[in-house]
Amino acid sequence: MRYSALRILSQGLSGNRGWERIWRDPEPKTSYDVIVIGAGHGMAAGYYLAANHDVRNVAVLEKGWLGSGNTGRNTTIIRSNYLLPENQPFYELSLQLWEQFEQKLNFNAMVSQRGIINLFHSDAQRDASVRRGNAMLLSGADAVLLDEGRLRKMCPYLDFDNARFPIRGGLWQPRGGTVRHDAVSWGYARAASKLGVDLIQNCEVTGLVIEQGRCVGVETTRGRIAAGKVAVCVAGSSSRVMKLAGLKLPIESHVLQAFVTEGLKPCLPGVVTFGAGHFYISQSDKGGLVFGGGLDGYNSYAQRGNLPALEDVCEGAMAIMPMMGRARMLRMWGGVMDMSMDGSPIIDQTPIKNLYFNGGWCYGGFKATPASGYCTAHLVATGTPHEHAADFRLDRFQRGHLIDEKGAGAQPNLH
């Protein structure tokens, strides 16, 4: 069923009784060419395997409901404002894929390019922003350096006159923005399902079947499924799943909290991030101010955080946007981030043949969803890394080819 205004009209007139399932709900087959574990980035990977590489005998296994992992548990920001040459082209690819998302998938995920501004507060931060902005422009992305005057006009609600860390300017990426996160997984699921990819929900992987150094299938809560190739795309559960193959990863799982206020009339056009505290914010199309900050800082799989991190984020909010004081926090939640040792992701083959790994997204995985799926599909289908993901290797820590945007070192809770 193709979605369109006309369809809505005809359905509306006939009592909305003719809508079809958004994706098929098949029983798992006994064998697939490719099994993708995890329906976040994995759902995108499943779609691109079918759409770009004509690999259609694919199952995407999800332990809960579609979108129950970090895809449905983030602050929905998209951007390609990275500094390092290993990262920037990859995230720019992702942003370009976002820009085509709706037309390609016939599903409106509300890719909304209302811009993202990273504020800076010191000369050193400005220098770093200039270097970053130049990297963005050189990679074909967009970037604008805003001085304080221009910023005042764009964001009059920021605290310019009374702040502990005065705002000196900002690095603006007009093409950055937000996407309706749940709709991303639904859109990929729908499009992939149409191409023959099976999405199997409530199917937790309990074992990886490895014979003579090759991965040949998976054990699941719904039985054993054979596979030619297996790709693990399970974000916060990376260590747990890869342990099934006896592999240890340069990854720790941390809790990141995020927050949303009650619905408010629009007061914030794009995304703003605060360079002197832990705080970033945007406003959803429903009106909620969606914001977050830093990790709680300790390893956790509990999907919930504690008060100090919450208070720290709200202090950042009030420091930079004191109008927020009378907005009320409606909901807070926690996601499990697979924090890699240099803050950058891994998309690579593993030492076990036909077993591929995608993870280490830290807390930047959502924006990467399309490119991550795209490059993972490329790797699995062709056996060679995609040119824009070529440095996201598992062995880079052994080689010392670190991709450390923040320069924080092997300390995951600082990335």
Partner 1 sequence: MSRQFRIGGGLVDPGRIVSFSFDGKSMQGLHGDTLASALLANGRRLVARSFKYHRPRGILSDGSDEPNALVELRSGAHREPNTRATVVELFDGLEAYSQNFRLSLNNDLNAVNDLLSPFLSAGFYYKTFMWPQKFWERVYEPLIRSTAGLGSLSALPDPDCYDKGFLHCDLLVVGGGPAGLVVALVAGRAGARVILADEDYRLGGRLNCESNSIGDQSGAAWAHQAALELALMDNVRLMPRTTVYGCYDHGIFGAVERKTDHLASSKRLPRQVLWRIYSRRSVICAGATERSMAFANNDRPGIMLASAVRTYCNRYGVACGQNVAVFTCNNSGWRTAADLERRGIRVAAVIDTRAETDAAPNVDARIIRQGRIVNTYGRKALSSIRLEDGERLPVDCLAVSGGWNPNLQLTCHHRSKPQWNAELATFVPGDSLPAGMAVAGAAAGVFHLGEILKDAAVVASTVLDELDLGEVDLQLEEAADTPYRIEPLWHIKSRRRAWVDFQNDVTTKDIEQSHAEGMQAVEHLKRYTTLGMATDQGKAGNIPAIAIMADLSGKSIPDTGTTVYRPPYTPVAIGAFAGRSRGPAFRPVRKTPSHRWAKEHGAVFVEVGAWLRAQWYARPGESHWRQSVDREVKATRNSVGVCDVTTLGKIDIQGAGSTTLLNHVYTNGFSKLAVGKVRYGLMLREDGIAYDDGTTARLGENHYVMTTTTANAGLVFRQMEFVRQCLYPDLDVHIISTTDGWAQFSVAGPNSRRLLQKVVDPETDISNRRFPFMGCAEITICGGFPARLFRISFSGELAYEIAVPARYGNSMMETLIKAGEEFEAVPYGTEALGVMRVEKGHFAGNEMTGQTTALNLGASRMLSTKKDFQGSVLARRSHLVDDNALGLVGLRSRDKKDVLRAGAHLLRQGVEPTLENSEGWISSCVYSPTFGCYLGLGFINRGHDRFGETAVAVNPIHKSEVSVTICSPHFYDPDGGRQRG
Partner 2 sequence: MIIDHPLLGPRDAAEFVYLGDASLLDRPHWQDPEAMGKFYEYQYLRENPAGELRELWYHEQGDRSWLVVTRDTTTHAILCVELAREVARRQQVSN
Are 368 and 81 a contacting pair, CB within 8 Å? no
Return the H-helix or E-strand segment holding 365: helix 365-382
Closest to partner 1 by CB, 67 or 373 = 67
Contact of residue 114 among partner 2, partner 1, none (CB under 5-8 Å per partner type): partner 1
CA distance 52 to 84: 28
Closest to partner 2 by CB, 232 or 268 = 232
Angle, CA of 158, 362 and 107, to the nearest 5°: 80
Q: Work out whether the CA dihedral 67, 68, 71, 77 comes out positive or negative.
A: positive
Site map for partner 1, 7-36, x if CB under 8 A?
xxx-xxx-xxx-xxxxx-x-----------
CA distance 241 to 238: 5
Site for partner 1 in 200-229 (CB under 8 A): 201
Nearest distance from residue 371's CB to partner 2, in Å? 25
Token pair 């406003």 in the structure block, residue: 283
Closest to partner 1 by CB, 261 or 349 = 261
Residue 165: DSSP 8-state: S
Nearest distance from residue 280's CB to partner 2, in Å? 22
Site for partner 1 in 309-328 (CB under 8 A): 310-311, 313-319, 322-328
Nearest distance from residue 224's CB to partner 1, in Å? 25
Contact of residue 251 among partner 1, partner 2, none (CB under 5-8 Å per partner type): partner 2
For residue 96, count other CB atoms closer than 10 A to its CB.
15
Is 413 a binding residue for partner 1 by CB under 8 A? The answer is: no
Contact of residue 66 among partner 2, partner 1, none (CB under 5-8 Å per partner type): partner 1
Is 248 a binding residue for partner 1 by CB under 8 A? The answer is: no
Nearest distance from residue 407's CB to partner 1, in Å? 2
Contact of residue 68 among partner 2, partner 1, none (CB under 5-8 Å per partner type): partner 1
Helix (H, G, I), strand (E, B) or coil at 127: helix
Closest to partner 2 by CB, 239 or 261 = 239
Are 100 and 50 a contacting pair, CB within 8 Å? no
Strand partners, 173: 116
Token pair 């199917």 in the structure block, residue: 203
Dihedral of CA atoms 256, 257, 260, 266 in degrees, nearest 10, equals -40
The pairing of beta strand 214-220 with beta strand 223-232: antiparallel
Q: Work out whether the CA dihedral 168, 171, 176, 178 comes out positive or negative.
A: negative
Contact of residue 282 among partner 1, partner 2, none (CB under 5-8 Å per partner type): none
Is 5 a binding residue for partner 1 by CB under 8 A? The answer is: yes
Nearest distance from residue 246's CB to partner 2, in Å? 12
Contact of residue 318 among partner 1, partner 2, none (CB under 5-8 Å per partner type): partner 1
Closest to partner 2 by CB, 195 or 402 = 402
Site for partner 1 in 88-127 (CB under 8 A): 88-89, 99, 102-103, 106-114, 121-122, 124, 126-127
Contact of residue 165 among partner 1, partner 2, none (CB under 5-8 Å per partner type): partner 1
Look at residues 222, 221, 223, 218 and name the one whose alpha carbon lies nearest to residue 207: 218
What type of residue is 371? A
Residue 388: DSSP 8-state: G
Nearest distance from residue 412's CB to partner 2, in Å? 7
Nearest distance from residue 237's CB to partner 2, in Å? 8
Angle, CA of 26, 204 and 353, to the nearest 5°: 95
Nearest distance from residue 158's CB to partner 2, in Å? 28
Is 277 a binding residue for partner 1 by CB under 8 A? The answer is: yes
